[in-house]
Chain A
Amino acid sequence: MHPFILALIGGGLVGLAAVMMMALKGRIAGVSGILTGSLTESGAERIWRILFIAGVIVGGALPVFLSSDFKPPIPQSGILLTILGGLAVGIGTGLGSGCTSGHGICGIARLSQRSIIATCTFMAAGFIGVYLLKHVLGGQ
């Protein structure tokens, strides 16, 4: 299948997960927020977040049983870049209260002004980050 069609189906499933989360449990399916809560909450509030994350890990492994094409290639970032990137993504989504799923999908779907501005900002920063990496620093 063409990558665009797979992307559309995959995106649709992410959307379906977001709708299920709201319809069944009344929660936003934002991965960065759920991750934070899985570390800081306690009791049942912690358990549902850990279960969601466990679901994402197992779900991410399943399509490979259908076709090995779904296995992602090894990421190319070096150690320093990976550490910097991981810290920036963690601190950034923590401060900005959301990532691609929480702001980009769930927030924009509610037409939240905050999420629309956040999404435009992180997309722009992503474009600039990759421009610097690939065309200025000349890294991988």
Chain B
Amino acid sequence: MSTQKTAQQVSALVSGLVFGIGMAISGMTNTERVQGFLDLAGAWDPTLAFVMGGGLIVTFIGYKFVLKKPAPLFGDTFHLPTNTDIDKKLLIGAVLFGAGWGLVGYCPGPAIAGLSYAYPTTLLFVATMLIGLLLARFISRRL
């Protein structure tokens, strides 16, 4: 493996570590708190707005600097999404995702970041989510 390839793999690992630490510190791995944020009609818990806020401020400013450069440090190009269609798949997908997120209180990042606690609910959620991600590839071709 070339040095650049190794540097890329290490970058992914370290970014994942920082991401997971952030998830655990922020409170996103607590499904009660997530559902509390989504429960507008109950005792609304605004905590997650601060997670989104903190994440967006850093990413918005960071991307401004990073995307001015011709290429990433250990790669040839920036892989940015090119699809700009607001289509059925996007909307149906977002509705399904939001509903599932509300029902259990997990979105993909926090569910993965909570895996180390080995709660049966978390393991079952991640397993069915992976099946769902694979199913989506088949459903996507038919939509």
A residues contacting B by CB (< 8 A) are 3-29, 31-32, 35-36, 39-40, 44, 47-49, 51-64, 70-77, 79, 81-97, 99-101, 103-110, 112-114, 117-119, 121-131, 133-135
Contact = CB atoms under 8 A, between A and B. Distances in A.
B113 to A, nearest CB: 3
B87 to A, nearest CB: 9
A72 B116 CA distance: 11
Nearest to B76: A26
Counting contact residues on chain B (CB < 8 A from A), the size range is 35 or more
Interface of B: 1, 5, 7-33, 35, 38-42, 46-48, 50-60, 62-63, 66-67, 69, 71-81, 83-86, 89-109, 111-117, 119, 121-122, 124-137, 139-140, 143
A7 B48 contact: yes
A9 B98 contact: no
Nearest to A136: B41
B73 A24 contact: yes
A112 B81 contact: yes
Given A72-B114, A86-B129, 9 more contacts: A13-B19, A19-B59, A25-B12, A40-B134, A55-B18, A75-B125, A92-B94, A95-B140, A121-B91
A61 B24 contact: yes
Contacts of B22: 9-17, 59
Nearest to A62: B21
Q: Give me the 3 closest cross-chain CB pairs, A-B, nearest first.
A: A90-B132, A55-B16, A59-B20
B94 A122 contact: yes
Contact of B26 (A11, A58, A73, A106): A11
Q: Chain A interface secondary structure, helix, strand, loop or mixed? A: helix
A58 B93 contact: no
Contact of A74 (B119, B126, B139): B119
Contact of A77 (B24, B76, B104, B143): B104
B103 A75 contact: no
Contacts of A133: 35, 102-103
